[in-house]
């Protein structure tokens, strides 16, 4: 059983990851919504002090160091670059990348002490191939590529792995509500497997990556996208 901290765990991908991993591990979750759970802390990941408070609450809950960190929190803005506001640039960078960087820096010492650890970043296929009218979102998600490789090298001898999962279009309520029927059909048409990725697929990949069977996988960006990056 591992001590696992998951951000963005109240809906969609993060919720499914928490459901799957909590069956055989001790999981502490965070999100923006208020929930009455002992293994949950509601916080704003834009706030450095809140990030530190989240880490401390998780440590207190486990009464031990964190073995696995899954950075799943993220926000999305779809808008042409000339219409982006300056405060939105800081906001998306803070939530999508800076929070993951800070949390990683907080959990690494404990992982080094145990000589075991796993960090999984939930990126996006938009950070791999780019997405028109989502340049800021794509930029924040592509930041995981360099971060993952560099940190993986930094902690390789400590039996700590660092990887990023880049999902394509995922079948979540958020996506389904954001797209009309025509948009949904267009996504299906351009995706080689003619389908949306299911959250359970991402959760099962996380489940595998935290095992010792996956100890040789580190510094990687794994595209779980139903073939979207393969071309047409």
CA atoms within 13 A on the CB side of 92: 20
Q: Of 195, 139, 197, which Cα lies nearest the Cα of 165? A: 197
CB within 8 Å of 147: residues ≥ 6 apart: 97, 100, 101, 121
133 within 8 A of 80, measured Cβ to Cβ: yes
Burial of 75 (0-12, 13-18, 19+ CB in 10 A): middle
Task: Please state, in angstroms and rounded to a whole number, the distance separating the CA atoms of residues 40 and 225.
Answer: 30
> Would you give the end-to-end CA distance of the chain in angstroms?
42
Sheet holding 117-122, edge to edge: 40-42, 26-31, 3-6, 68-71, 117-122, 160-167, 221-224
Catalytic position from the list 41, 137, 208, 213: 137
75 within 8 A of 98, measured Cβ to Cβ: no
Reported residue count of the chain is 232
Active site residue 137: yes
Catalytic residues: 137
């Amino acid at each position: 059983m591992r001590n696992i901290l998951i951000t963005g765990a109240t809906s969609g991908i993060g919720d499914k990851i928490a459901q799957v991993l909590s069956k055989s591990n001790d999981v502490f979750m965070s999100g923006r919504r208020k929930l009455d759970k002992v293994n949950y802390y509601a916080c704003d990941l834009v706030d450095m002090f809140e990030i530190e408070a989240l880490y401390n609450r998780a440590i207190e809950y486990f009464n031990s160091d964190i073995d696995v960190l899954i950075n799943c929190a993220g926000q999305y803005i779809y808008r042409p670059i000339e219409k982006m506001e300056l405060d939105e640039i800081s906001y998306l960078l803070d939530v999508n990348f800076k929070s993951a960087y800070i949390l990683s820096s907080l959990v690494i010492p404990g992982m080094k002490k145990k000589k075991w650890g796993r960090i999984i970043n939930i990126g996006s296929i938009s950070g791999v191939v780019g997405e028109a009218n989502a340049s800021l979102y794509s930029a924040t998600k592509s930041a995981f590529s360099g971060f993952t490789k560099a940190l993986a090298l930094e902690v390789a001898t400590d039996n700590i792995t660092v990887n990023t999962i880049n999902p394509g279009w995922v079948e979540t309520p958020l996506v389904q509500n954001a797209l009309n029927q025509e948009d949904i059909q267009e996504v299906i048409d351009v995706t080689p497997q003619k389908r949306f990725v299911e959250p359970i697929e991402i959760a099962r990949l996380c489940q595998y990556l935290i095992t010792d069977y996956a100890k040789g996988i580190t510094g990687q960006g794994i595209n779980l996208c139903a073939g979207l990056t393969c071309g047409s």
